[in-house]
Amino acid sequence: MVVIARMTSGRLPGKSLLSIGRQTLIEAVVERVAQSREIGTVAVATSIEASDDAIEDWCDERDLLCVRGSLEDVACRFLHAGSRLGASHVVRISGDSPFIDPILIDHAVRLSRSHDVDLVTNVFPRTFPKGQSVEVLGTQALRKAAAEGLSNVQREHVTRVFYDNYEDYRVLNFSTTDLDAREEAVHDYSSVQLSIDTEDDLMTARQVSERLGPRLNRCGWRDVVAVWQEVVAGRAP
């Protein structure tokens, strides 16, 4: 499991260590992913920039593996983390997803184990909210793609090469209906913003966290969406 995090967000600088309720953003993400029953070691992959020393310090205080690499070449950083973990397949979670549901992670890992694919994802196409993205990558496939040459955009966005060239890779996507047999049709939650990109996202997340209270780290993504919708509706004129 690799959580990608950095402090140099253009729209929300230092967001990894900003507070969301009783936790910082990175702490919330790590606590949620640690509830997965299908993963092993959790690693945080950040950059070698001085601004990200704070993330490494945070990891060191908690005995978490921190892997550092190029700020722009996230693909290389991810591969380095995969090598440190000694894993043939690695779960990728964005460090701005404080409400990530471990059940989605477990489902993706099980799919990866039962299917011979290069990438398991739930964003191709996306039916889950932003902030509930889960990807399980085959490190050999990513290493091969990197050796053949990645664009700058593909280096920055680790899985982009698989989506740009999906006909050349084995990509398996799962949707909301795959986790709930009661859903007869796919519901599109892609407009729900549970990731933290802006100050407004942060304020919304803080309100969601406050309303969830002690249930925060035990509830599933649908519960979070319901509270998010209440918060957003309460702001409507």
Tokens of 36: 């997965």
Q: Indicate whether 237 pLDDT > 60.
A: no
Residues in Cβ contact with 220 at an 8 Å cutoff, skipping those fewer than 6 apart: 101, 103
pLDDT over 90, % of the chain: 89
Q: Starting at the edge strand that comes first in sequence, how are the strands of the sheet with 89-94 ordered?
A: 65-69, 43-47, 2-4, 89-94, 135-138, 119-121, 171-173
Cβ-contact 1, 42 below 8 angstroms: yes
Q: Describe the crossing of helices 139-148 and 74-85 by its angle, rounded to 10 degrees.
A: 140
1 band by pLDDT with thresholds 50, 70 and 90: very high
Tokens of 52: 């990200």
Give residue-wise pLDDT tens across range 163-214: 999 999 999 999 998 876 656 667 899 999 999 999 999 999 999 999 999 8
Q: Indicate whether 53 pLDDT > 60.
A: yes
Q: How many CA atoms lie within 13 A of 131 on its CB side?
A: 27
Beta bridge partners of 136: 91, 120
Report the DSSP pairing between strands 89-94 and 65-69: unpaired
pTM of the model: 0.95
Q: For the chain, list the domains and their CATH numbers.
A: 2-235 (3.90.550.10)
